[in-house]
Structure 1
Amino acid sequence: MSPVLTSRAGTRTIPATAGIVATGLAVGVAELAAGLLPGGASPFVAVAERIIELTPGPAVELAISVFGGANRLVLLLCMAVGLLTAGALVGIGAAARRWFGPAALGAIAALGIASGLATPALPVLVAVAAPAAGWGLGAGLLQVLLGRRAAGRAGAGEHADDLPDEDRAHRDEPERPRRSFLAVAGAGAVLAAASAGGGRYLQLRDAARRARTNIRLARPATPLPPPPGTASFDIDGLASLVTPNEDFYRIDTAFTVPRLDPDSHAVRVTGMVDTPLEIGYRELVRAADTEADVTLACVSNQVGGSLVGNARWQGVPLAEVLDRAGVHPGATQIVGRATDGWTGGFPVEAAYDGRPALIAVGMNGEPLPEEHGFPARLVIAGLYGYVSDTKWLAEIELTTFEAYDAYWIPRGWAERAPIKTQSRIDVPREGAEVNAGPVTVAGVAWAGVRGVETVEIAVDGGDWREARLAGELARTTWRQWAYEWDATPGQHRIQVRATDGTGRTQTGERSGTLPDGATGHHTIEVTVAG
């Protein structure tokens, strides 16, 4: 290759790189600004939406026929490639004419502003300010990078006669400006990626929250009555019959709560079915006419622990969805798959044996909170959450236990995981000091789908004494219990146990949570003052 051509190619590489990095930063900052501003949405996506609107119908149909459901993703990728190409041209042009860089980046920003203003739901402030902020920082970085490049060329004695007058003074400087260019360009690229990613995260979070506030759940076909007063005791410190959403325990593997757009979210039904399905979130909301009171429990809950809660869930019966798909006779396992890839698997019969088994979209009368699975999740009564209660539900796959192990199974947890009978003392607390005389001992007990028939306490290893039970809200929920203890001065040890609806009493044998849930009697020690 000619040395002259090689030199020219190398000369263009640096300004092209500068242009790409500066353009990337401009777009990234615009995305971040849109995420930080109230009501913000992606300027990049706004441009894509305008492209779709302006594309002739036959071309859109061709794209759908070729790329299917990935047609929008392909468009975004093509836009990204086009943006990088434009960035390279911006850099090359700005190296020859410094005014060209800000002008070209301004044109890109203007395209974003125009697209944003054409988006009805996007506030004018966001439509204008986000691309403008990106333009300002992108243009500034481009000037800095080209200044570093010019200083490096001058210091190396390259084409000194072609340099602008203000850059010739640098031609005797050492090679350090070239390294400085690379450092600044690298930092700019990292900042561009971080800004774009952070901005998109904030936009999705804000979009999910705004969309959630506008969602109205369907009226249940047979609304459940409010919990009766007889189902709860008014005792300070006792867990409430229905756990408020903000107090409901959260255990999952997600480092950050997924922020999902309900307008585009859908749940797929795949695997061993006659007809694979894809059900949009809005369709799920319209069909969610079933309510169920269900207590959920985490398998990691220690004896006496707080990783358990009771809520009224609203959703679509899982069996109805499976019947639409047509389950193959050989299918034995239902796998729920979250948007982040987490999976939980449970027996097919759990969807058909009469227990509440829902694709839930509502919790305690409102759309699911984001941290509890919005837009949709599975709620399967009587099974520990690690096998059944998939949050941020994206897919329901019919398979067999032999063919697939869900997330926690290879990690040592049991394949089948019915909730064990458990009971807990809430009042008084461990280590509390109480006065002699009548002392209320109270708590909750739960037993999956079997219901709770009796609760008993024992003091200092003595006889078991039956406690009072509040009314039963449902067989699938916990029950409050209370016992009036005539406390005498001194140190005392109090234990509790429950018997489920089948007549089986909770074991006192202590075991840890691995592989299928802890066992043992919750025991506390209290001091009774004389």
Structure 2
Amino acid sequence: MLALLAALAAGHLVAGFISVNASPYLAVGNGAIDLTPVSLKDFAVRTFGTHDKLVLLSGMAVALVVLAALAGVASRRSPWPGTVVIAVFGLVGLVAVYQRPDLGAVALLAPLVSLLAGVAVFRLLHRAARRGRAPVASRRAFLLTGIGVLAGSAIAGAGGQLLGSTRDAAASRRAVGRLVPARTAPAIPADADFAKLGTPPFLTPNPEFYRVDTALSVPQVRAEDWSLRLHGMVDREKRYGYEEIRNRPLVERTITMTCVSNEVGGPYVSTANFVGVDLAELLREAGVRPGAEQLFSTSVDGWTSGTPVATALDPARGAMLALGMNGEPLPVEHGFPARLVVPGLYGYVSATKWVTDLEVTTWRARQAYWLKRGWGEQAPIKTESRIDTPKGFATVTAGTVRVAGIAWAQHTGIAKVEVRVDNGPWQPTTLSTKVNDDTWRMWWAEVGVPAGTHQISCRATDNSGYTQTGDRAGTVPDGATGRPTVTFTAK
């Protein structure tokens, strides 16, 4: 187990000079995410939420410790069983780093050093252990050797962490200062939400904005190092730096974003004021050629997404290359220095964070990360609603009960929301003031309920006349459907 710790720490130290994703432990974790079946990923997001990656890393740690302990027991007579196990660990790390799309050949040094350090430390400790079986002095020497390995591993691991933090994006973000839009979003009306009645506030604070991504470690990209390449089926390949984008006339838009992993009535929907530039403007500068179908975007960590070109070019859609969020530069975990925001489409085709490459191409030529895994191509957000109060299994006072929640149908807009108790008639609700068709709307109503256990359901109707279906469907391949229902007790 000490040899395993030394191996991982040595790899992490070398990765500090190259890229944090070159650390063998993280590389294997990222590889596991890429290889996980869609159904299992969906289960992890549904069950663990934003803690799914912590669960993965913790599970990996437990598995490695158990395997290392078993290898140690098998190596009491000979060092070869443990050596072979460490070598296998090292080879897995090499393969994981080699397959990372965001790492070059030099990154292989991290798992290679990890392998060599693990084997060397294990052989050293094995010899010391065999010598320490008899004299007290030898046992003391073995103990001191083990303590030295433990201390060295701690120093190496901390060193790797410190080196990785020298490319700190947080300091770069602070230096950006305030982003002032030339065109501000309309002010949010006071009655745009019913927060006092149990709904969320209309604008989601940045720390509370939902986050679902595949990154085990948040990419650290400084604004001064960032650039965006726009190429492919264009007349003129373009490359933009951060200051070039920032110094353009910026626009602010109020947009509600939704994750395709959001279950019926789920939490993965949030609203913010985004500041940036029109994506269509950048595409027009490059000159999109006839036949182009998708805008294939790549994150700095290698994650990819495909957005319909027609949607990105549509001036009425308001697709953005966003630099800011709710009056400040993008938080690092939400894509600093820049991300895509395309209203009306689920995040996996519209919201690439830490974006660094845009390729105009066809659907046949390139397949994005989630498209390869069976998710839908176009991914328009479905008309949905949610009940925020009363909470599930709450106990309330019988009589008049206040029900409140939210509804969304981005780029179409919400026309009405209705509720019903048990299987009774649908009743109208009061809607909040509309901000725009790309944002959610809050609603509330009062219903009468006698003592007992009851269910409240809601359904939204959008501006096209479509009413939210009661047919249940899972999130795969293009978003969940169904009507949210809350069970509660009245006394």
Question: Normalised by the size of structure 1, how large is the TM-score?
Answer: 0.64
Alignment match, 2:435: 473
Percent identical: 45
Q: CA deviation at 1:185?
A: 12
Q: Does 1:367 find its partner at 2:302?
A: no
- Taking a change above 3 Å as real, the CA distance of residues 488 and 392 of structure 1, as seen in their structure-2 partners, is same
Alignment match, 2:452: 490
Q: CA deviation at 1:200?
A: 2.4
Q: Does 1:203 find its partner at 2:166?
A: yes
2:184, 2:465 → 1: CA distance? 31
Q: CA deviation at 1:192?
A: 8.2
Q: CA deviation at 1:209?
A: 1.2
Which digits, 9 at most, give the CA deviation of each residue in 1:106-142, with x for residues without a partner?
Answer: xxxxxxxxxxxxxxxxxxxxxxxxxxxxxxxxxxxxx
Which digits, 9 at most, give the CA deviation of each residue in 1:220-260, with x for residues without a partner?
Answer: 22212321112122425311111110101100000011111
Equivalent position SS for 2:176: coil
Amino acid at match of 1:327: V
Q: CA deviation at 1:195?
A: 5.3
**260, 274, 277: which is aligned to 1:313?**
274
What does residue range 205-354 of structure 1 map to in structure 2 within 5 Å?
Answer: 205=168, 208-287=169-248, 289-353=250-314, 354=316
Alignment match, 2:420: 458
**347, 350, 364: which is aligned to 1:385?**
347
2:297, 2:387 → 1: CA distance? 33
Amino acid at match of 1:275: R
Equivalent position SS for 1:517: coil
Q: Which runs of 5+ in 1 are unaligned?
A: 1-24, 36-73, 81-147, 149-173
Q: CA deviation at 1:488?
A: 1.8
Give the superposed CA RMSD: 3.4
2:444, 2:154 → 1: CA distance? 59
**475, 481, 486: which is aligned to 1:519?**
481
Q: CA deviation at 1:303?
A: 0.3
Q: CA deviation at 1:194?
A: 4.4
Q: CA deviation at 1:384?
A: 0.4
Equivalent position SS for 2:247: helix
- Taking a change above 3 Å as real, the CA distance of residues 234 and 252 of structure 1, as seen in their structure-2 partners, is closer
Q: Does 1:422 find its partner at 2:384?
A: yes
Which digits, 9 at most, give the CA deviation of each residue in 1:252-289, with x for residues without a partner?
Answer: 00001111111111111121111111111122222251
1:188, 1:241 → 2: CA distance? 50
Q: Which has the higher contact order (CA 8 A, sep 6+)?
A: 2
Amino acid at match of 2:301: D
Q: CA deviation at 1:189?
A: 9.6
2:396, 2:465 → 1: CA distance? 34
2:184 and 2:253 in contact (8 A); partners too: no
- Which protein is bigger by CA-based radius of gyration? 1
- Taking a change above 3 Å as real, the CA distance of residues 189 and 396 of structure 1, as seen in their structure-2 partners, is farther
Which digits, 9 at most, give the CA deviation of each residue in 1:424-480, with x for residues without a partner?
Answer: 000110111111222210000000210000000111111111110000111100000
1:288 and 1:360 in contact (8 A); partners too: no
Amino acid at match of 2:287: G
1:268 and 1:396 in contact (8 A); partners too: yes
1:460, 1:258 → 2: CA distance? 47
1:288 and 1:314 in contact (8 A); partners too: no
Alignment match, 1:357: 319
- Taking a change above 3 Å as real, the CA distance of residues 260 and 434 of structure 1, as seen in their structure-2 partners, is same
**443, 463, 468: which is aligned to 2:405?**
443
Which digits, 9 at most, give the CA deviation of each residue in 1:41-68, with x for residues without a partner?
Answer: xxxxxxxxxxxxxxxxxxxxxxxxxxxx
Q: CA deviation at 1:215?
A: 1.5
2:148, 2:258 → 1: CA distance? 51
1:317 and 1:357 in contact (8 A); partners too: yes
Q: CA deviation at 1:328?
A: 1.2
Q: CA deviation at 1:190?
A: 7.3
1:404, 1:454 → 2: CA distance? 40
Alignment match, 2:368: 406
Point out the more displaced range, 281-290 or 470-479: 281-290
- Taking a change above 3 Å as real, the CA distance of residues 194 and 442 of structure 1, as seen in their structure-2 partners, is same
Equivalent position SS for 1:419: coil
Amino acid at match of 2:165: L
Q: CA deviation at 1:506?
A: 0.8
Amino acid at match of 2:166: Q
Q: CA deviation at 1:199?
A: 2.2
What count of residue pairs does the alignment treat as equivalent?
Answer: 367
2:327, 2:154 → 1: CA distance? 42
- Taking a change above 3 Å as real, the CA distance of residues 494 and 183 of structure 1, as seen in their structure-2 partners, is closer
1:461, 1:288 → 2: CA distance? 53
Which digits, 9 at most, give the CA deviation of each residue in 1:126-171, with x for residues without a partner?
Answer: xxxxxxxxxxxxxxxxxxxxxx9xxxxxxxxxxxxxxxxxxxxxxx
Amino acid at match of 1:197: G
Q: Which runs of 5+ in 2 are unaligned?
A: 1-9, 21-103, 110-123, 125-137
